[in-house]
Amino acid sequence: MEIHTEDRCAKAKLAIRDTLDVVGGKWKLVLLSVLRNGKRGFNELSREAGISPRILSKELQELEMNGLVSREVCNTKPVTVQYALTEYSKTLEEVLIAMEKWGNLHRQKVISGN
């Protein structure tokens, strides 16, 4: 079945905007990319991603709310919290890989003087 082009265009725009609503902004994809290498504590994440604790806390909350990151409270002294990717977050793999590839490509372009 053929879909009318204008419809398809509007649908594509909407889908991209949906994705940006969930993982857009400066940090979320960077955080997910760090967590691909295994679970992390709050301070580790803050350091590795270079995010201030205040912003990190908000970003993690939003990622958790959308089912992309899980939060595990560990029975240590003092209590620590570990953040990890959820199964669902693996559906973003293709987005992360495409962005990583493009970042490398663009860097090469900039270095070689366009």
Measured from the CB of residue 15, what is the shortest distance to a second copy in angstroms? 3
Whichever of 58 and 101 has its CB closer to a second copy, that residue is 101
Measured from the CB of residue 57, what is the shortest distance to a second copy in angstroms? 20
The single residue listed with the structure tokens 């993982």 is: 23
Whichever of 24 and 75 has its CB closer to a second copy, that residue is 24
CA angle 54, 37, 66 (to 5 degrees): 50
- Name the DSSP class of 72: E
Whichever of 48 and 62 has its CB closer to a second copy, that residue is 48
The residue ranges that bind a second copy (CB under 8 A) are: 5, 9, 11-20, 22, 24-26, 29-30, 33-34, 36-37, 48-49, 66-67, 88, 91-92, 94-107, 109, 114
Rounded Cα distance, 23 and 68, in Å: 10
Cis peptide before 78 (omega within 30 of 0): yes
Whichever of 5 and 75 has its CB closer to a second copy, that residue is 5
Measured from the CB of residue 79, what is the shortest distance to a second copy in angstroms? 27
Give bridge partners of residue 72 from the DSSP assignment: 82
Q: Which residues contact 41 (CB under 8 A, 6 or more apart)?
A: 80, 81, 82, 83
